[in-house]
A and B are shown apart, each in its own frame.
Chain A
């Protein structure tokens, strides 16, 4: 279990201190895989390095399994080598002057005894499928092998938790997908509490138990992959995860109780949407829905009657393999629609569309 409370970190910049983290708090449960997701420069790696002890925060508190490893007020700072954390770096940081065996045996204290070290190293190398590479030097390993060695080295001393800093970003696309599942299986079998840092949303969605979305040094929103993707609470989350349509709107009607639906008017027509916050009638807002929740209908005039419907002219169709990206021009607005690759409308044709109220979310403008 990890708990991070009000973490603030500044870096010296050209003109005074630059704030990298402005009060980040979250908790990670035992055995959970928690992902910090965000664009580069959002503070996710800084947060990870603060947990590792490689950076010293300005204020806040970090606990690992109820042990305080950092507390600014009490001036507690446990150095990284005493935190019992395994970490995989973005560059893997395999020591090039050592063999695979020497790399993996390094974290084991010398008082364990030679035999025990041999046994543990052989065990972890076996689990990661590295048994045949024991005497190989690091420069002679492929990217995927280096990644496994880094993992073996991080796990061999049975740390209290695992930190992964963009561990898949240096692999090519095919290998990345394969390692993604391997990583997940491994993490589950070790039942180790893990904090994972990535800027790749697909990776985050596929791997995580929960995701924390970071933006400009703050933790914007925490939730399961499905929650964050389907019901984002912030426009930034919606925008960062997947592709989005944002339509200018005005609130027309609000339900009596939270959880009720709401009505907004847009240049496309009126839409019924989920109501997640307090809204007042007449407020300018933004309607959000994802391209894959737009259903294209046959272009008959009757189909546009009723809410959550609209029509437009097909402007462009981009074939993507497993799907097709369709741009529908509706007056001033261009709508992105995800269509089945074999059932795309012809360019220039008039189409109608429908979006289910459960897929529509309204954000403040």
Chain B
């Protein structure tokens, strides 16, 4: 890397050229160097520390205090019989959740994108609503619906079917229950991904099959699905990684069910109820998850790279042909409506209901009379709630601002420096995307290792959580700003250079304003995720830096269901307000530009 360049003084009068011996660093090179260092530091150092910790014997000690290098942690993980169920559960949980979520998402995407189903806009929007609800809260809502003893659905079913037992028929505290809740949780984002592929498909390929006299079923089976196969396969692999790293739902349900998967096992290894934290075990588990995720991500990248070569997926803005469903219209519409009712409205209404009840009770005439907003008033008396809300707000703002700034710089160098082919731009792109396959819980763990003894005194402060989240969300954010920057013609920036503007002015006056729409979207995405994030916060918080999500988790662990619901609803409201504000800004900007 050439950081310094020769400063050259030019005398225009006698056209002589003097070269000063002093080295001066141009601002652009300096910023590029800093970006490289920051990204490498944020991403690589924690991962190296994780690897280091996983080969250190850590009985009663922190990994750095140990002087013994050993593979004992890995041997323990791979040979200890108590570990086998964890791997088995992770496999079953992942497979089960995908089996619930993906077929549903494909079916909904196909119905809403490719068939002439009525009220499609309404359904398409409602499907996305659960994305604003923290997944922690989804789990709580489904517990209130499907708890074997007091779950609303179970109570109603028991009285309807005349069952005498005070349990069942459903039990959410099982692997099935976990798969069900996690599976439903995947539907909105999987739907978005798959619907986009359906939209991008060239309809003439299907029309060709129709012209050849094939009916709709044969066309779907023999043309549509084969063409979609790479996209579906990519979605499958992407969501394997998502489920593998998910913590909130297996954490909450698996706690009661005593079912552990890899992500929660890492948490419990460091937050043991009985003994000292076993960082060696946790880091060995973390390394294993990381290796698996990296392998999957590699396959995913290869698949999506290949997909771009498919001539069928073009960027044209046509509306594909919509199939008429005939007699199937009613059942198909009914299916969509039932899905929206069960998966979207029911949990949300249940949460609201619980939060306005003084104690948990099944909805009835009596309990309707007891509805009060007292809990919403009382919650403020709870010590720490104000602090948690404040911390959450600060965390969301700091993380999103830091992430977006870093992402813009990363993508600028990746896109505009890419043609210099010295490999640095490629390195930056790769390293900044790496956190995409590092599970949040592993990032949290690795950050403990980096900062517990670091001369940078941020351990135990809010900043360490913000830094961990910035690292994690850099992957998504830099990808988003990179694709936005690729839409900005390079000549727009060059025109600013030719107009005499130095690099910083070009960045401030031309690049950033042109990227503003993408930046607002990324800002909102990061802010909402940072607000709702649980696993990194849980690994890194202390009583001073409690945030809303960790507070809900603690309330739940202590059996304070109603308070957890109230706080959850408040968190959802906060996220919704933020999103609303964001949309308003985008709307006003668009209005002022036309």
Residues of A within 8 A of B (CB): 11-12, 52-54, 63, 65-68, 71, 74-82, 84-87, 89-91, 93, 95-97, 106-107, 109, 137, 139, 150, 153-154, 157, 163
Contact = CB atoms under 8 A, between A and B. Distances in A.
Contacts of B327: none
Given A71-B17, A76-B10, A95-B492, A81 B497 contact: yes
Interface in B1-44: 5-6, 8, 10, 12, 15, 17, 19, 26
Contact of A93 (B6, B421, B489): B489
B176 to A, nearest CB: 53
B491 A93 contact: yes
A79 B28 CA distance: 12
Nearest to A96: B514
Contact of A89 (B495, B500, B509, B510): B495
B502 interface: yes
A60 B74 CA distance: 60
A362 B456 CA distance: 79
Contacts of B17: 68, 71, 74, 76
14 contacts: A54-B498, A68-B10, A74-B17, A75-B6, A77-B8, A78-B10, A80-B494, A80-B498, A84-B500, A91-B491, A95-B496, A97-B514, A106-B496, A107-B500
Contacts of A68: 10, 15, 17
B419 interface: yes
Q: Which of B8, B15, B495, B496 gathers the greatest number of chain A CB atoms within 10 Å?
A: B495
Q: In the complex, which of the residues A66, A81, A163 has the most CB atoms of chain B within 10 Å of its own CB atom?
A: A81
Contact of A106 (B8, B10, B501, B513): B501
A284 B277 CA distance: 91
A220 to B, nearest CB: 27
Contact of B502 (A76, A81, A150): A81
A95 B497 contact: no
A107 B8 contact: no
Given A75-B19, A93-B489, A97-B513, A157 B494 contact: no
Interface string B493-536: 01111111110000001100110100000000000000000000
A106 B489 CA distance: 18
Nearest to B509: A106
Contacts of B26: 79
Interface in B479-496: 489, 491-492, 494-496
Interface of B: 5-6, 8, 10, 12, 15, 17, 19, 26, 419-421, 489, 491-492, 494-502, 509-510, 513-514, 516, 593
Given A67-B10, A75-B6, A85-B498, A95 B510 contact: yes
Nearest to A67: B12
B495 A12 contact: no
A31 to B, nearest CB: 19
Contacts of A82: 500
A75 B8 contact: yes
A92 to B, nearest CB: 8
Nearest to B28: A79
A153 B495 contact: yes
Contacts of A137: 593
A17 B472 CA distance: 37
B500 A109 contact: yes
Contacts of B15: 63, 66-68
Given A75-B19, A89-B494, A96-B514, 13 more contacts: A66-B15, A81-B498, A81-B499, A85-B498, A87-B495, A93-B494, A95-B492, A95-B495, A95-B514, A97-B514, A106-B496, A139-B593, A157-B500
A156 to B, nearest CB: 9
B513 A78 contact: no
B500 A81 contact: yes
Contacts of B496: 95, 106
Contacts of A78: 8, 10
Nearest to B516: A97
A82 B7 CA distance: 13
A56 B500 CA distance: 17
Contacts of B516: 97
Nearest to B494: A54
Contacts of A107: 499-501
B498 A86 contact: yes
B19 A106 contact: no
Nearest to A53: B497
Given A67-B10, A78-B10, A137-B593, A93 B500 contact: no
Contacts of B491: 89-91, 93
B546 to A, nearest CB: 42
Nearest to A87: B498
A79 B8 CA distance: 11
Contacts of A89: 491, 494-495
Nearest to A97: B513
A154 B498 CA distance: 8
Nearest to B422: A12
A67 B15 CA distance: 5
Contacts of B420: 12
A76 B8 contact: yes
A11 B418 CA distance: 12
B489 A91 contact: yes
A79 B17 CA distance: 15
B85 to A, nearest CB: 51
Contact of B499 (A65, A79, A153, A163): A153
A81 B28 CA distance: 13
B415 to A, nearest CB: 15
A74 B506 CA distance: 28
Contacts of A97: 513-514, 516, 593
A171 B188 CA distance: 45
Nearest to B12: A67
A129 to B, nearest CB: 21
A63 B15 CA distance: 9
Contacts of A52: 494, 498
Sorted nearest first, the 8 A-B pairs with minimum C-beta distance are A107-B499, A12-B421, A93-B495, A93-B491, A87-B498, A89-B491, A80-B497, A66-B15
A107 B26 CA distance: 21
B492 A93 contact: yes
Contacts of A66: 12, 15
A12 B424 CA distance: 14
Contacts of A75: 6, 8, 19
Contact of A81 (B489, B492, B501, B514): B501
A13 to B, nearest CB: 9
A272 B492 CA distance: 55
A249 B3 CA distance: 60
Nearest to B493: A93
Contacts of A63: 15
B497 A54 contact: yes
B586 to A, nearest CB: 14
A86 B10 CA distance: 20
B526 to A, nearest CB: 23
A149 to B, nearest CB: 11
B401 to A, nearest CB: 21
A140 B98 CA distance: 48
A81 B498 CA distance: 5
B513 to A, nearest CB: 5
A157 B495 contact: no
A66 B6 CA distance: 21
